[in-house]
Structure 1
Amino acid sequence: MSQPIAAKPRAVSKRTIPWNVIPFAAIVATMVLLALAAPLVAPVDPDTQNLLARLKAPGTVSRGITYLLGSDELGRDVLSRLIHGARVSLLVAFSSVILSGIVGSALGMVAAFYRGWIEVLIMRLVDIVLSVPAILFAIITVAVLGPGLVNVVIVLALTRWPRYARVAYGQTLSVANMPYVRLARFMGAGWPRLLGRHILPNIAGSLVVVATLEFGLMVLFEAGLSFLGLGVQPPMASWGAMLSTGRNYVATAWWIATFPGLALFLLVLSINLIGDYVRDRLDPKAR
């Protein structure tokens, strides 16, 4: 009597990072490392002026300093300012994403958990903030608070928290009716434990996806505010401020605006592509 043929075990699929995402992840990692080690890797102080070497082309040597990416209108090294500008852009983006994520997620979960007038109040406030164009709201707010690094972070957080609130609100509504949440409530768990222990871990994936996609937008917003003179103030290096200065010298010193613009383009593109990968990776339907 023939023995039944044993079924072959299924090969366990291992999710790996796609090859087309690795270069962009390397770009982001490189910029983060350069930003963290900016004082160590920058060739010179980004605020050091050398009027004898103003508007020098890339590769020029003046007074013992090699300007690999050229110099600006005050003779400052573009490469050094580019590296220190990466620190400003990443710091503002990271801080604003964390702050807006915490505020928006907390308000969204509270609105979905308590319902009633609290839900109406919070969600109508979300609708009001979202009805105003984000960049216009940021410009108005920073004009009231004043320019500066800290104020830019606060402004961007105030501008973008409704995005997290809506996602947290919708996800909490679906999770709050799960059996384990109702059981925990029946056993006497308070609302801080229900939200922090039982609901937040189950909606964190969606919030991480939003944060990843928002990160690149925060970089653009910071550059836009600095370009308009409402962001980081001179002499602190900022990609947006460098673009604003470089537009006056596009015909004679193209490198002042080209290299910050290229760095901004590569960083935002890389973050957006990584955000798409994270979204697909955390999407339950893709598993």
Structure 2
Amino acid sequence: MSAVASPRPHPRQGLGLRRWWPLAIVGLVVLAAIFAPWLAPYDPNTQNLIGRLKPPGTVSRAFHYWLGSDELGRDVLSRIIYGSRVSLVVAFASVIISGTVGTTLGMIAAYRRGWTETVVMRVVDVFLSIPAVLLAIITVAVLGPSLVNVILVLALTRWPRYARIAYSQTLSVATMPYVRLAALMGAGATRVLFRHVLPNIIGAVSVVATLEFGLMVLFEAGLSFLGLGVQPPTASWGSMLSTGRNYVATAWWVATLPGLWLFVLVLAVNLTGDAVRDRLDPRFR
């Protein structure tokens, strides 16, 4: 009696829930950041020294601290909601800037070849040889801590990854017959790259951008934790972790809750990136 082999499940079976719940969490955080003035119970910078370091659920004067209060009596929930604005603005802006610069330079290097390729890719190698966190810390320390400087520094340190991906993808696409035909018919390099090459490599670049988004959130939190990000009294998850570490033994919620929100957001973004990769991977079609 021969055994009947069970059918092999399709690689994308069972990905529905894993694909959608992380995206829902990211969407909720984005909505919370956009509608923070209406969702936050109080102004994130309003102090109530009588109600400092109150545990979650405590009522002090006119404040109802759903997630507790910090060392200055500020509402932790309100500061977490407003802190999401900083993280998302930095992540979105840095990903857009670094992705645009890196993808453009990578495509130009692969299409032009010659000395252009040599110069661009050697600069990429130099940037990739320096630890990104160390480079970001040094640059922010020189330029000064601010929201704009954090965005520029993160974009400066992360564009080489996009350049590498765009370079390798463009090398294969540039040899396609339709690309050569477009060049022979008189299309300029700009038209060929952005009309014929970019649409064919945008999938791989999008996967990198999705994964980089979570990394940018972590980098921003790390710089703010070190005092090199946005400055007080602006609410930031990293700065909340930095001040809350001094009260872990007596007021665990000050550092634990922002850290939990940070963990959940980065996990959701990374899982969303995996889902995007599975969606665009031709082996799963």
Task: Tell me the TM-score normalized by structure 1.
Answer: 0.94
Q: Over residues 237-284 of structure 1, what are the superposed CA-to-partner deviations in whole Å (9 max), with x where a residue is unaligned?
A: 000000000000000110000100000000000110110110111012
Q: Tell me if 1:64 matches 2:35.
A: no
In structure 1, the residue matched to 2:91 is: 93
> In the alignment, is the contact (CA less than 8 A) between 2:210 and 2:273 conserved in 1?
yes
Q: Over residues 62-106 of structure 1, what are the superposed CA-to-partner deviations in whole Å (9 max), with x where a residue is unaligned?
A: 112100000000010000000000111011001100000000000
Q: Over residues 91-135 of structure 1, what are the superposed CA-to-partner deviations in whole Å (9 max), with x where a residue is unaligned?
A: 100110000000000000010011111100000000000000110
Unmatched runs of 5 consecutive residues or more in structure 2: 1-11
1:99-248 residue pairs with structure 2 within 5 A?
99-248=97-246
Query: Aligned equivalents of 2:21 and 2:199: distance in 1?
Result: 30
Q: Cα RMSD (Å) of the superposition?
A: 1.4
Q: Cα distance, 1:15 vs. partner?
A: 8.5
Query: Aligned equivalents of 2:46 and 2:245: distance in 1?
Result: 21
Between the two proteins, the alignment pairs up a number of residues equal to 275
Q: Secondary structure at the match of 1:61?
A: strand
> In the alignment, is the contact (CA less than 8 A) between 2:18 and 2:271 conserved in 1?
no
Q: Cα distance, 1:16 vs. partner?
A: 9.0
Q: Secondary structure at the match of 2:64?
A: strand
Unmatched runs of 5 consecutive residues or more in structure 1: 1-13
Query: Aligned equivalents of 2:25 and 2:107: distance in 1?
Result: 35
The one-letter code of the counterpart of 1:28 is V
Q: Cα distance, 1:159 vs. partner?
A: 0.5
Query: Aligned equivalents of 1:145 and 1:15: distance in 2?
Result: 49
Query: Aligned equivalents of 2:187 and 2:22: distance in 1?
Result: 44
Relative to structure 1, is the Cα distance of residues 205 and 15 closer, same or farther in structure 2, using a 3 angstrom cutoff? Answer: farther
Query: Aligned equivalents of 1:26 and 1:101: distance in 2?
Result: 24
Query: Aligned equivalents of 1:170 and 1:234: distance in 2?
Result: 43
> In the alignment, is the contact (CA less than 8 A) between 2:55 and 2:251 conserved in 1?
yes
In structure 2, the residue matched to 1:249 is: 247
Q: Over residues 2-42 of structure 1, what are the superposed CA-to-partner deviations in whole Å (9 max), with x where a residue is unaligned?
A: xxxxxxxxxxxx99961133222221111110001001110
Query: Aligned equivalents of 1:264 and 1:21: distance in 2?
Result: 19
> In the alignment, is the contact (CA less than 8 A) between 2:162 and 2:208 conserved in 1?
yes
Q: Over residues 199-219 of structure 1, what are the superposed CA-to-partner deviations in whole Å (9 max), with x where a residue is unaligned?
A: 000000000000000000000
Q: Secondary structure at the match of 2:16?
A: coil
| Identity percentage of aligned residues | 71
The one-letter code of the counterpart of 1:88 is V
Task: Tell me the TM-score normalized by structure 2.
Answer: 0.94
Query: Aligned equivalents of 1:137 and 1:172: distance in 2?
Result: 28
In structure 2, the residue matched to 1:274 is: 272
The one-letter code of the counterpart of 2:55 is A
The one-letter code of the counterpart of 2:119 is L
